[in-house]
A and B are shown apart, each in its own frame.
Chain A
Amino acid sequence: MRWSLLLPALLTAMAAAASVAVIMDTMDTVDTIDVMGEPSTALGTAHPQYPTLLQGDPGATGHERMLPAVWACGVLMLAFAAALMAWGLRRNERSGWPAWALAACFVLQAGLFSVAMLAYVRFMGDPSPPLWWALPLPTAWLVYVFWPAQLVFVVLFVVTFDRWFWTPLDEATFRRIVSARHGDRNGTA
């Protein structure tokens, strides 16, 4: 696989998805201005009573239209990160089952992210959303499931470190390279 082509391709796709979301957002902002007569900022709208607080868009109606593009952008970000990790493996491990294991971790992450987005769709339409461990379901899913599930990458790193990342043979080869380099410099090699 040509990683030097895959990474820019993922980056471009991610930027394209973000651009679509921006276009949707711009249309929503226009709607908001028309309806409410006041613009909202990217970080939130000013709280009517407490100036140090910000609030979300009322009802987040625009979010529904943007969500497919935002979801695609998020999944592509996760794909980009997984591809970068594969890029950092030993050169002869970048294909084969190390790459498939990373791909499986990516699919898991993308799946969990997708569930959070689906839960958010329900959250938007529910006037009294239930709480799950003191948080609304989509937020709870991100905090309690999506985030800690990323530890699968750490586990994979630890378990496969000696085979995919730094083998005893690598250590021996590196020692030879260092000896040759320092020997050359000292004029002894």
Chain B
Amino acid sequence: MEPYRYTIILGCIGVYMLLCVGVGIWALRRTKSAKDFFVAGRRLGILVTSIAIFSSLISGFTFVGGPGLVYRMGMSSMWMLYAGIIGGCLSAVLVGKRLRLFAELRETLSLPDAVAARYNSETTRFLTAVAILLGVVGYLAVQILAMSLVLQSLLQRSELVAAVPLEICVLAACAVLVFYCTTGGIIASVYTDLVQGLVMVVAAALVYFTARASLGGGFTAMTDAIMSDDRETMGPWGSASMLCGLSWLFLFMVGACGQPHVITKHMMFRRVGDLKWIIPISIVAGMITVLLTVPIGMLMRALVLTGAQPELASPDAAAPVFLQAFANPVLAGVVLAGLFAAIMSSADSFLNIGAAALVHDIPRAFGAGKAATKLRNARLATVAIAITAALVGLYWGDLVALLGAFGWGTFAAALVPVVAIGFNWKRATAAAANTAIIFSLVVNFGIKLFSIELPGGIDGGALALTGSLALFFVVSMLSKPRPLDADIDAVMDL
């Protein structure tokens, strides 16, 4: 059985990768301009947009990091999940409509385009693009590295090859990703997201039932085993402090409005009215997928505590070890394809918004015309960002962890005031937006670079977000707003 096991698993992943390449070739024919490349010509349907939103949101963090956090800390990480529904609604209500309106009104290709139109400021466009680029490189590096490590582990265990250097795995992982992103741009990205999203839902459901059946007595037995060791771990706060849980709730609830790889999808659907169904579909699909990955962490913790399983080398090994030890090969193949899907669906969105920042937003902030955004440049930028992120992932270990863990917080603190508040408040000023972005970057990176531990276990991203929101309000009140363009002014009344 064992030799066939890894052949079946790798076969499932191979089929999935070929599917992605196929979508890239199909999308190539539909990508004729920069508008197609970055915003899919603003003609996506409701289902495609909904699944693209949810699959961009769910990355390797959910499938690898999520079970790992439950294994390590018990129920603490549930506070991130509790934030999801309200976060999705906030994102739609505060950002979705306005972004879609600005996109059509001003023919915007990127989030910084919309920000520049709203604030009438090239400095704000530049700072937004820089914040996005900083977050993208770090977050993407983590995604590529995670995908490569899983691939390396699988290849080595399969014994099909003697030893596979990590560099080769990075190359293989990047090749498929870069191929479909450069050929088909965001069109390939959202249609692979559709495939990836469906794979993720199936994978999560299979995981749930397998985990439940893996320990005699089901979830009650898992909970009993964990609580007999430490009952607080299964309490509402898990092992973490109460303020840590609440700060995650705040960061993931309000911060959802500032995730550029997710909110830029709001520029791509056909009509504002489509938002009515896009939001419920994406929220429900996300809820199901995320919730179903939690039992892996519970199961692995219970098994280790009862002595049925040796202690894991690291919490992130919870999902891979579960798949190797308990899942049949087809299930493991589908779930690992789901894991690759989760990573790649976020990574392709990051590549797209990073390319837009590099070839479109930053040059425009320095006076380049809109015509400067050529399709060829966008493709080259996509390759350049992927190579940079891969190199960062391979050789800049600490910084990758730093940037990856703070990707969400960095985006949230820098962009929530600027887009969620500023797009709905005419009094907001460019000076306030610039101050909020600079403050958030300094605080986020400062806390991590100097390893500052905040009192009470408050998350650094949550502190940066609270501070940047407060600064945004205060500076807006104190500074004189520039007159809005008539069309932007009128759209902000809708």
Contacts and interface: CB of A to CB of B under 8 A. Distances in A.
Interface string B405-438: 0000000000000001100110100000000000
Interface residues of A, number: 79
A174 B231 CA distance: 56
Interface residues of B, number: 90
Nearest to B311: A50
Interface string A11-33: 11011001001100110000000
Closest 6 CB pairs of A and B: A42-B457, A56-B232, A44-B239, A88-B93, A134-B219, A150-B85
B487 A177 contact: yes
Given A14-B250, A54-B239, 16 more contacts: A43-B240, A53-B301, A54-B73, A54-B74, A60-B237, A66-B242, A84-B94, A88-B93, A116-B236, A139-B78, A153-B85, A157-B92, A157-B280, A166-B494, A170-B494, A174-B491
B456 interface: yes
B94 A55 contact: no
Interface string B475-494: 00100000000010011011
B105 A177 contact: yes
Given A42-B453, A154-B280, A52 B311 contact: yes
A18 B249 CA distance: 13
Given A63-B242, A77-B249, A158 B280 contact: yes
A170 B279 CA distance: 20
Contacts of A162: 273, 276
A142 B294 CA distance: 15
A119 to B, nearest CB: 8
12 contacts: A4-B427, A12-B470, A25-B243, A41-B457, A55-B230, A56-B231, A63-B242, A84-B93, A89-B93, A131-B220, A139-B234, A173-B490
Contacts of B242: 21, 63, 66-67, 70
A78 B240 CA distance: 21
Interface string A145-182: 01100110110011001100110001101100110110
A143 interface: yes
Contact of A134 (B92, B94, B220, B477): B220
Contact of A18 (B78, B97, B456): B456
B456 A7 contact: no
Interface string B301-343: 1001100000111110000000000000000000000000000
A143 B97 CA distance: 30
A97 to B, nearest CB: 17
Contacts of B58: none
Contacts of A11: 466, 469-470, 473
Contact of B424 (A55, A88, A139): A88
B232 A55 contact: yes
A45 B276 contact: no
Contact residues of B: prevailing secondary structure: helix
A42 B271 CA distance: 46
A178 B466 contact: no
A70 B246 contact: yes
A153 B242 CA distance: 25
A35 B455 CA distance: 20
B27 interface: no
B311 A73 contact: no
B94 A88 contact: yes
A139 B487 contact: no
Interface in B269-285: 271-273, 275-277, 279-280, 283
Contacts of B279: 154, 157-158
Contacts of B397: none
Nearest to A89: B93
B148 to A, nearest CB: 22
Contacts of B105: 177-178, 181
A26 B470 CA distance: 25
Given A44-B240, A146-B82, A151-B85, A56 B246 contact: no
B25 interface: no
A85 B304 contact: no
Of A84, A120, A143, A146, the most chain B CB neighbours within 10 A belong to A84
Nearest to B75: A139
Nearest to A138: B236
Of B220, B235, B240, B470, the most chain A CB neighbours within 10 A belong to B235
A66 B93 CA distance: 34
Contacts of A166: 97, 272-273, 275-276, 494
B89 A18 contact: no
B494 A139 contact: no
B50 to A, nearest CB: 12
B241 interface: yes
B31 to A, nearest CB: 24
Contacts of B74: 54, 56
B81 interface: yes
Of A43, A56, A120, A161, the most chain B CB neighbours within 10 A belong to A56
B487 A50 contact: no
Given A52-B72, A85-B93, A43 B244 contact: yes
A71 to B, nearest CB: 9
B388 interface: no
A65 to B, nearest CB: 11
Contacts of B304: 50, 53
